[in-house]
Each structure stands twice: as structure tokens, then as C-alpha cells.
Amino acid sequence: MTERAKVLLEALPFIQQFHDKIIVVKMGGRVISNEEMLNTLLQDVVLLNLFGMKMVIVHGGGPEISEEMRKSGVKPKFIEGLRVTDEKTMEILHEQLAGKINKQIVLGINHHGGKAFGISGMDGNLIRARKLIYKTTTSKGKEVEIDLGLVGEVEKIDPAIIHNFLKAGCIPVIAPIGIDAEGRSLNINADMVAAELAGAMRAKKLVIITDVMGVMRDPNDEKTLISTLTVDEIQSLIQQGIVKKGMIPKVEACLKALQLGVERCHIINGNIPHVLLLEILTETGVGTMIVRGK
């Protein structure tokens, strides 16, 4: 019993520190598709909310969207990790991302005693977007522009509607679809939406939940996990090629959030049971924390 009490007491200073503070959590599609892992994550979200933390969820849904596209006879197409989005793909995004997946998370939070409210970035003028002009360099060193279709980037976030949900004791669950000046809906990278939203809301933390431990010196060896990194160290790891592929958009989102005033960012593995509690309420944490500087 004494050991259990010690565990609870270790959490006390963190509960005090983050009480009444905003924490933006981005949940990746692979984690969401694992029902058992999603269930423990949503329990964590509800508990942290009961501790007085203002939890805001942004979610992806890549694997389920790709599967639904295949069922509809549409072959998913990616360019350097970004989904090419035509009209048909956008319809599926509305059905799956803003519909099925969003409501699955809302229902899970409500089931565990929270009060969730699901919206997309189109609602309440939350996310004003502009079409993404994507540039890349060919093997011959020539810079070219690639049309990704209905893919956007954040132009402006108006968090008023989210603040209203938080005041009402709700946990907002947000699908990363924005709307442009012409009234078109645009597909936006969920990591970057979470970063921009965390900055606009002056969040204390941004937590990106993925399916790897965090930033590792050797991606194949979890023992090489780096528990704390500064902005300079992250940029050095990118230049060295240690941070690469799918981890780059996640660390770039963290760098953006820090630039916008968020205090700390975390990249953690959603396959660890109750990983949110372990990262936020313990001294050592279990993933990678990124800070401005030492």
C-alpha cells in the first residue's frame, strides 16, 4: 500500500503544476486503429481532465482512410509522405476523419466519464487554410512545384470555439480539415494543426502520440531513446540524418509549437499502456521531451 501511495504522491507536483493549463494531444492514426491502446489513452485523457487539466485532442486517421479508399476503388497516392487529395479522397476524409474516427474518440471519452465534443477545423471558423504549394528538388537538383490537390496548410487559427468548449468542461476532439477563402475544405497535416492550435491557445504542452518510443539515435534500438532535446540539438540531428522519414514532420511540428510559445513538447509511444499518465505525471517520463534550450 505504501508503494501505491508513493506513486500517487509522485504525481502531486505535476497535477499542481498543470492544473488549469491547456494540453494539446495529437493522436496518430495507427494508435487510433488499435482499439485496446486507444481505450487506455482515452482513460488517461479523462483522468487528466478530472485533475483539472484542459485537454484538447487533434487526431489523424491515415490507415483507416487508406483502407476506405481502397474499398472505394481509389488507390492512395503519397508524395514524400503527403497524401494527394482529389475530390473523391476529400469525400472519404469527410466520412472517415470528420465522421467515423472523430466520433469513435468522442464516444470513447464519454464512455469513460468525460464530456467530449467532436468538430473539424471547418466548424466555427476554427482553421482558415490555404492551398499548400509543395516544392521539392529532383535528382538533377532542379526545384519543382507539385500539385497535391486539396491539401492545405494553416493560415490562421481562431480558437474561440475551443475556449468555449473548455469553459463548459468539455474535451474538444478536432479533425484536421480546414476551409479556405473560397469555401473549399482542405486536408491538413494533423501534426502541424496540433502545433498551430497549441500555439494559438497558449498551451502548456503539445504531446504527439505516435507508434515509436520518441527520438532515437538508432531507430531500431529503443535503448538509444533521447529523453530530452533542445531546439538546437534537434536541428543538428536532422542535419546528421539521425532524425529522418516519418519523424521529421513530428519534430518540425514540435519546433513550430515552441516557436509559437508552447513551453514543452513531447513525442511518445501510444503502444505503452497509460503512456500519457507516465509522461505527464512522472519525473522521468517515457518518451522524448523537446524544450527551447537548456
CB atoms under 10 Å from CB of 126, counted, come to 24
Give pLDDT tens digits for 113-137: 999 999 999 999 999 999 998 888 8
CB atoms under 10 Å from CB of 14, counted, come to 18
Lowest mean pLDDT among 10-24, 138-152, 170-184, 249-263: 138-152
Rounded Cα gap, residues 138 and 239, in angstroms: 19
Torsion of CA 207, 284, 245, 265, to 10 degrees: 30
Give pLDDT tens digits for 25-59: 999 888 898 899 999 999 999 999 999 999 999 99
Residues 165-187 have a mean pLDDT of 96
Give the 3-state secondary structure of residue 6: helix
Q: How many CA atoms lie within 13 A of 165 on its CB side?
A: 25
Architecture per CATH, 15-291:
3-Layer(aba) Sandwich (3.40)
Residues 133-147 have a mean pLDDT of 83
Residues 179-197 have a mean pLDDT of 95
Render 117-161 in DSSP notation, one character per residue.
EEEETTGGG-EEEEE--EEEE-TTS-EEEE--BSEEEEEEE-THH
- Strand 205-210 vs strand 264-269: parallel, antiparallel, or unpaired? parallel
Phi and psi torsions of 122, nearest 5°: -80, -25
Residue 1 has pLDDT above 70, yes or no: no
Give pLDDT tens digits for 147-175: 899 999 999 999 999 999 999 999 999 99
Q: What are the residue boundaries of the structural domains of the chain, listed by start?
A: 15-291
Could you give the C-alpha distances from 288 to 38, 224, 239, 280, in angstroms and in order?
20, 11, 18, 12
Percent of the chain whose predicted confidence (pLDDT) is above 70: 99
DSSP 98: I
Query: What are the residues facing 129 on neighbouring strands?
Result: 154
Residue 7 has pLDDT above 90, yes or no: no
Q: Which three cell numbers stand for residue 247?
A: 519523424
Rounded Cα gap, residues 46 and 105, in angstroms: 12
